[in-house]
């Protein structure tokens, strides 16, 4: 008699139905998408799992226990792979905000450099970033774009899906993307709070950005500008240390977000 399979526990947060739309199969980017992602469904499902595990870990306790800490209600996610300028963006569908669309540029996929592994890595990285937008809270639209983008790249960074040209530092703490992502990771480490970003995200469910009040509270009431200065000094110190003990020379920066100039675009 065949052994009874052990039922797997239900997922902490259900993954909505996942759809794919590719109209022009002949486009080089579409062909690359299929040849470098063995199963689009598995890639999307795994990417959703990564995002949900990062933003809503079991240890996350909501201030108000009802509703339990979780993402917005999402009824479906449709990935559109089609040619357009830029990298990717996420938006609500024509139906409503609960049916999400992730648009991945086939033109962008067509021009990603590197071997098959790198192309697969880049596609998964961009999908994780976009799916973070699907499942994150945004303070009712009041959260600054730089913070929204920083949280999305923090998820990508934590999943080890950042492109090889990413480096710490930048113009300001809320410049967004990897600049803010690395800073958020540094803050988590400084305050020994691995839940700092999930707590920030969850706070944006029930309250607006409100001049960064919740963020400041999570940073032990310190001013973010002072923390950024401290981070820059720490970064400089680490860089000098690295110069003394050179590791492998880093790869040359590759402008992944060249098309469109603005990197990812998100519409809220
Ligand atoms: Zn984005």
pLDDT in tens, 66-83: 677 899 999 999 999 999
* Cα atoms found within 13 Å of the Cα of residue 267, Cβ hemisphere only: 11
Distance 117 CA to ligand 1 centre (A): 23
Q: Separation of 40 CA from ligand 1 center, angstroms? A: 20
**Interval 139-162 mean pLDDT:** 97
CATH number of this structure's domain 11-135: 3.30.2010
**Residue 94 confidence (pLDDT):** 87
The pLDDT value given to residue 247: 61
Rounded to the nearest whole angstrom, what is the distance from the C-alpha of residue 129 to the centroid of ligand 1?
6
How far is residue 72's CA from residue 119's CA, in Å, rounded to a whole number?
Answer: 30
> Does the pLDDT value for residue 257 go beyond 60?
no
Distance, CA of 236 to CA of 253 (rounded, Å)? 19
Of 245 and 261, the one with more pLDDT = 245
Length of the chain: 268
Cα(158)–Cα(189) distance, integer angstroms: 13
Q: Are 104 and 88 in contact (CB under 8 A)?
A: yes
pLDDT of residue 238: 95
CA 2 – ligand 1 centroid, Å = 47
Of 56, 98, 91, the C-alpha closest to 76 is: 98
Query: Among residues 122, 76, 72, 130, which one has the least CA distance to residue 102?
Result: 130
- Averaged pLDDT for residues 138-164: 97
| Cα gap 257→248, rounded to integer Å | 25
% of the chain beyond a pLDDT of 70: 85
The pLDDT of residue 248: 59
Question: Ligand 1 center to residue 161 CA distance, Å?
Answer: 14
- 5: CA distance to ligand 1 center in Å? 40
* pLDDT classification of 48: cutoffs 50, 70, 90: very high
CA 51 to chain centre: 7
Q: Which position has the token pair 């790249």?
A: 153
Confidence of residue 13 (pLDDT cuts 50, 70, 90): confident
Burial (CB count within 10 angstroms: exposed 0-12, middle 13-18, buried 19+), residue 251: exposed
78 alpha carbon – ligand 1 mean position (Å): 16
Q: Is the pLDDT of residue 63 over 90?
A: no
Q: What is the pLDDT of residues 243-253, one digit of tens each?
A: 888 665 555 44
- Residue-averaged pLDDT of the chain: 89
Average pLDDT of span 59-65: 71
Q: How far is the CA of 149 from the centre of ligand 1 (A)?
A: 5
Kindly report, residue by residue over 194-242, the tens digit of the pLDDT: 999 999 999 999 889 999 999 999 999 999 999 999 999 999 999 999 8
Task: Kindly state the DSSP code that residue 70 receives in the 8-state scheme.
Answer: -
Closest CA to 56 of 44, 46, 71: 71
pLDDT at 161 over 60: yes
Q: Is the pLDDT of residue 174 over 60?
A: yes
Is 259 in a helix, a strand, or coil? coil
Which residues have a Cβ under 8 Å from the Cβ of 219 and sit 6 or more positions away? 187, 191, 227
Number of helices and strands in the chain (H, E): 9, 5
Using 50, 70 and 90 to split pLDDT, how confident is the model at 255?
A: very low
Which tokens hold the place of 165? Answer: 């040209």
Amino acid 258: pLDDT: 34
Q: Output DSSP code: residue 194.
A: T
152 C-alpha to ligand 1 centroid (Å): 6
Ligand 1: centre distance to CA 89 (Å): 7
Of the candidate ranges 55-64, 127-136, 205-214, 218-227, the one whose mean pLDDT is the lowest: 55-64
pLDDT band at 267; cut points 50, 70, 90: very low
Instruction: Calculate how far, in angstroms, residue 248's C-alpha sits from the geometric centre of ligand 1.
Output: 30
Say what the pLDDT of residue 65 is: 60
Q: Where in the chain is the domain with CATH 3.30.2010?
A: 11-135
């Amino acid at each position: 008699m065949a052994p009874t399979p052990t039922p797997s526990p239900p997922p902490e947060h259900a993954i909505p139905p996942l759809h794919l739309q590719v109209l022009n199969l002949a486009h080089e980017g579409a062909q690359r998408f299929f040849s470098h992602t063995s199963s689009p469904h598995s890639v999307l499902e795994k990417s959703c799992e990564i995002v949900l595990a990062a933003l809503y870990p079991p240890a996350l306790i909501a201030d108000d226990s009802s509703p339990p800490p979780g993402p917005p209600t999402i009824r479906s996610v449709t990935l559109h792979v089609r040619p357009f300028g830029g990298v990717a963006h996420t938006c609500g569908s024509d139906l409503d905000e609960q049916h999400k669309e992730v648009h991945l540029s086939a033109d962008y996929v067509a021009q990603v450099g590197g071997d098959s592994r790198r192309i697969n890595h880049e596609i998964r990285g961009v999908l994780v970033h976009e799916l973070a937008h699907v499942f994150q809270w945004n303070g009712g639209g009041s959260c600054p774009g730089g913070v929204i983008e920083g949280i999305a790249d923090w998820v990508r960074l934590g999943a080890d899906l950042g492109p090889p040209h990413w480096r710490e530092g930048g113009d300001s703490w809320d410049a967004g993307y990897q600049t803010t992502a690395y800073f958020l990771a540094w803050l988590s480490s400084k305050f020994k709070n691995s839940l700092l970003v999930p707590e920030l995200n969850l706070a944006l469910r029930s309250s607006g950005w409100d001049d960064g009040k919740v963020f400041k509270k999570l940073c032990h009431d310190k001013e973010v500008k002072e923390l950024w200065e401290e981070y820059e000094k720490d970064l400089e110190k680490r860089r000098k240390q690295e110069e003394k003990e050179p590791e492998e020379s880093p790869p040359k920066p590759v402008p992944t977000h060249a098309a469109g100039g603005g990197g990812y675009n998100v519409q809220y």
